[in-house]
């Protein structure tokens, strides 16, 4: 089961796990995109169920997820976004609410609804998509960084709470990944988005999907707790070597 499956890392995970023989439950806000992806994957033999809802809507999310006949073997909490790049004292309240409601509260809603059924069944793997931004704040990233720090804390806390069970928890923390992430952050400004990746070969959604698949396919006694994935010329959230011509 993959949240936020209609673009970026979520869409790449859908394709990677389909190739790996998994049956898929794909969720997202855009029903048309979900249906298009389902048809694409079904054409290559994948069994796909789609659920259209916004993780910020707790009631809709709970109703949709409760309709599933069984708990997934793997849950990828991918739905998330960044909005704005302003100083904390100049930020947008609306942007803050959207990030907090999606990146933190949405993740909690899905976890709270799905994981109890995993525990009851006695197996399961939760993969949360965090970020290098959760390790340390960077300039003007304040609230987004805080939400991804929360994803790290929630992943660690869930792993502790599940230690007496066979369930596993993984926090995957990407650095620069060229998806629609920056275009969304800059409210559709493609030029600003392109500048984020200028002078460096960034990661792709496929790179992160490969990491998620590796963690999911590890032997049952192996728990990949946390993975920081960076482009070769990115050292951390702020140190990036760019080639200029």
Alpha carbons 104 and 108: distance in angstroms, whole number: 6
Candidates 22, 93, 138, 144; catalytic one: 144
**Secondary structure, 3-state, 158-206:** HHHHCCCCCCEEEEEEECCECCCHHHHHCCCCHHHHHHHCCCCCCECHH
Query: Is 93 known to be catalytic?
Result: no
Residue 206: C-alpha distances to residues 10, 13, 145, 210 (Å):
9, 7, 23, 6
187 vs 38: CA distance, rounded Å: 27
Active-site annotation, residues: 144
């Amino acid at each position: 089961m993959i949240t936020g499956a209609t673009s970026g890392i979520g869409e790449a995970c859908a394709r990677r796990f389909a190739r790996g023989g998994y049956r898929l439950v794909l969720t997202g806000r855009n029903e048309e995109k979900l249906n298009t992806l389902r048809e694409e994957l079904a054409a290559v033999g994948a069994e796909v169920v789609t659920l259209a809802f916004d993780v910020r809507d707790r009631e809709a999310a709970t109703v949709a997820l409760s309709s599933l006949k069984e708990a997934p073997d793997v849950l990828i909490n991918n739905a998330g976004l960044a909005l704005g790049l302003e100083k904390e004292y100049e930020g947008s309240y609306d942007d803050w609410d959207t990030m907090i409601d999606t990146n933190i509260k949405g993740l909690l809603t899905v976890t709270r609804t799905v994981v109890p059924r995993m525990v009851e069944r006695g197996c399961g793997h939760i993969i949360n998509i965090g970020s290098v931004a959760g390790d340390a704040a960077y300039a003007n990233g304040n609230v987004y960084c805080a939400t991804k720090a929360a994803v790290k804390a929630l992943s660690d806390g869930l792993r502790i709470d599940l230690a007496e069970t066979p369930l596993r928890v993984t926090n995957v923390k990407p650095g620069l990944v060229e998806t629609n992430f920056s275009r969304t952050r800059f409210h559709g400004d493609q030029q600003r988005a392109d500048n984020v990746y200028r002078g460096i070969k960034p990661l792709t959604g496929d790179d992160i999907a490969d990491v998620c698949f590796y963690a999911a396919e590890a032997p049952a006694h192996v728990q990949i707790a946390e993975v920081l994935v960076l482009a070769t010329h990115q050292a951390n959230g702020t140190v990036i070597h760019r080639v200029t011509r």
